[in-house]
Amino acid sequence: MSDSINFNIIGIAHTPYKQKFGIPRQPGLAPDIPGTLVINPPFNREEAFRSIEEFSHLWVSFVFHGIQQNKWQAMVRPPRLGGNKKVGVFASRSTHRPNPLGLSVVKLESIEIKPQQLLLHISSHDLLDQTPVVDIKPYLPYSDAIETASNGYAPAPESNLYEVKFSKQSLDFIDRWQHQQAENLKSQLVSILSQDPRPAYSKDDPQRQSYGMKLYNLDIQFSIENNCMKIDDITQI
Ligand code: SAM
């Protein structure tokens, strides 16, 4: 057997996350963020997905295509340890692995079959826009959910860690935007920002108080004020 294996890209994830900053560190943390897996030919055949709608959740294997260069490291600094302590790469979910493969459980919302096109509408994911998908399998709770499993150094995050506030300007923008789009932008921003997307190293930087994040075609400007996330402004890119 040779030392490398080629995989087929079976589809591409289309998601509102246009940059890595702001994406939850695991799926399930921002449940209302939508996404669509657009399946590539020749895999976009209806029969290849027949009965998939019987499952509420799917395992999605994907390629971390957005990393700068795939330099794997034996030890990494997980954000959950504040970026200070190192653990082995295989004891982490780091993107800097020998093979840049990611694995996420996502919620299957619906399947849409059009002529020449098959779409899986999903939510509750952590996928950068344009992520190449290499496999999809049903999630089986009887086998995959292990109630007695231990979390190691990564205990479940507290829910809604930060309160999220909106400036009048940003609320006016959201009102206008939601009028045209089906998405509930306000609740999506709360679910993303309440998780505190800031990298560990910038949290202690007193100079760094304001941040920008791209979601859909929007530039979201926010700052930290009295331990609250405050959305200062939203503009269309
Ligand atoms: N749930 C996956 C896993 O365990 O393999 C991903 C975990 S990884 C810690 C999650 C981070 O990967 C996200 O916060 C996002 O910044 C990053 N990410 C998501 N899709 C990516 C992509 N296509 N390329 C590079 N980074 C990506």
pLDDT in tens, 42-68: 999 999 999 999 999 999 999 999 998
Cβ 23 vs Cβ 130: under 8 Å: no
Asked if residue 124 has its Cβ within 6 Å of ligand 1, the reply is: no
Higher per-residue confidence, 232 vs 183: 232
Fold of 163-236: YaeB-like fold (3.30.2310)
Cβ 223 vs Cβ 164: under 8 Å: no
Enclosing H/E stretch for 141? helix 141-144
Asked if residue 14 has its Cβ within 6 Å of ligand 1, the reply is: no
| Token pair of 23 as six digits | 């994406």
Helices (H) and strands (E) counted in the chain, each on its own, are 4, 12
Give the Å distance between the CA of 168 and the centre of ligand 1.
Answer: 33
Say which CATH class 11-144 falls into: mainly beta
pTM for the complete prediction? 0.94
Domain boundaries, the chain: 11-144, 163-236
| Most ligand 1 atoms within 8 A of CB, residue of 14, 23, 129 to mutate | 23
| Most ligand 1 atoms within 8 A of CB, residue of 64, 89, 195 to mutate | 64
Q: Which residues contact 32 (CB under 8 A, 6 or more apart)?
A: 123, 124, 184, 187, 188, 191
Q: Residue 160 pLDDT > 60, yes or no? A: no
pLDDT of residue 185: 94
Asked if residue 128 has its Cβ within 6 Å of ligand 1, the reply is: yes
- Burial string for 104-127 (b: 16+ CB within 10 Å, else e) reads bbbbbbebeeeeeebbbebbbbbb
The amino acid at 141? P
